[in-house]
Amino acid sequence: MYTTRPAEFAYHRPSSLDEAVALLAELEDARPLAGGHSLLPAMKIRFSTPAALVDLASIPGLAGIERGGDGIRIGALATHASVATSEVVRDGCPMLAEAAALIGDRQVRNRGTIGGSVAHADPGADYPTVVKALGATITAVGKSGSREIAADDFFTGIFTTALEPGELVTSVQVPVTAGGAGAAYVKHKHPASGYAVAAVAAVVATGGGKCTRARLVIGGVTGVPADAKEAGSALEGSAVSEEAIAAASVQVAGALGGALGDTYASAAYRTHLATVLARRALRTAFDRAGS
Ligand code: FAD
């Protein structure tokens, strides 16, 4: 039977991280609740039927955004709107603010959180692509303590991550974009939801007119953000030119085996789109790097 009401569930609202971790360890089939903008729609159609929700909203200290050294730590409960408008993020890691501003609509940005987005690992979501391209680190805490997980190892499949059952994301750390480096995120969004039909995050560094580092991560096309390593390597060591950018963008398709297709966009269309967006993202990233 089709329904728009969730199945019955118990609701808990812990006031500390320790209490939340203990509840998630003790309770049968419990799920954390953050902004609710992915979990609640899934519960309403009974795609997800957790027996208990552990609401993180009253846990202090999980929504802060702070700069320390050459990195920025973003608390798991920081909303997309707060990331998009944070001066710390806009100054230190503009691509992340740019991506946050492109998420969904105003309501989604005001409620949805970075921790919820990375934990949910939707293939069409924006943060997974961007945090992987940036080489971010995700901090998680569970009953065995706290650990750091590289974004490269975090996204393991469609809606699947390296988090253990009961583990909570507490923060996401991104590096500050250094001088001589540039980054850009370009997305072709689904007109109804804003999710990525295809998206590209490009992070480059230059010196003496040459590309010294290039990383391209593609979202929305495959189950996990795809690292187009060969396209990045093709640019490294070569002079920055339109020809080099065009050639590397075409190579992106090679990293998109197992592309997803649906009624809105076929796998072939998404793959083609990724090559077009890669070219735009690279051009902007090199411009920002000063080349
Ligand atoms: P919730 O919905 O509360 O939780 C999502 C999942 O993560 C659940 O399984 C939950 O148990 C788990 N979880 C939550 N927090 C934690 C944590 N700290 N540690 C461990 N697990 C946790 N996203 C985009 O990226 N781009 C878009 O364009 C976009 N468009 C959208 C449009 C609409 C209409 C809607 C409803 C959503 C859209 N989203 C989009 C998704 C949105 O960004 C969600 O906010 C986000 O995916 C989940 O964050 P949340 O805080 O709402 O998490």
Per-residue model confidence as pLDDT tens digits over 209-263 = 899 999 999 999 999 999 999 999 999 999 999 999 999 999 999 999 999 999 9
Residue 187 in contact with ligand 1 by CB distance below 6 A: no
Q: For residue 2, what pLDDT is reported?
A: 63
Predicted confidence (pLDDT) at residue 9 exceeds the cutoff of 80: yes
Per-residue model confidence as pLDDT tens digits over 257-283 = 999 999 999 999 999 999 999 999 999
Q: Which atom of ligand 1 is nearest to the CA of 122?
A: 47
Tell the residue nearest (CA) to atom 8 of ligand 1: 39
DSSP letter at 221 equals S
Tell the residue nearest (CA) to atom 45 of ligand 1: 112
Pick the CATH number of 65-175 from 3.40.50.10860, 1.10.10.10, 3.40.50.150, 3.30.465.10: 3.30.465.10
Count the helix, strand and coil residues of the chain and give each as a percent rounded to the nearest 5.
35, 30, 35
Per-residue model confidence as pLDDT tens digits over 127-145 = 999 999 999 999 999 999 9
Question: One fold for both 65-175 and 181-289?
Answer: no
Q: For residue 21, what pLDDT is reported?
A: 98
Residue 116 in contact with ligand 1 by CB distance below 6 A: yes
Query: For the domain 181-289, what is the CATH superfamily, name and number?
Result: CO dehydrogenase flavoprotein, C-terminal domain (3.30.390.50)
Give residue 125 CA to ligand 1 midpoint distance, Å: 9
Residue 169 in contact with ligand 1 by CB distance below 6 A: yes
Give residue 93 CA to ligand 1 midpoint distance, Å: 21
Tell the residue nearest (CA) to atom 15 of ligand 1: 116
Q: What are the structural domain ranges in the chain?
A: 10-52, 65-175, 181-289
Q: What is the mean pLDDT of residues 1-25?
A: 92
The pLDDT mean for the chain works out to 96
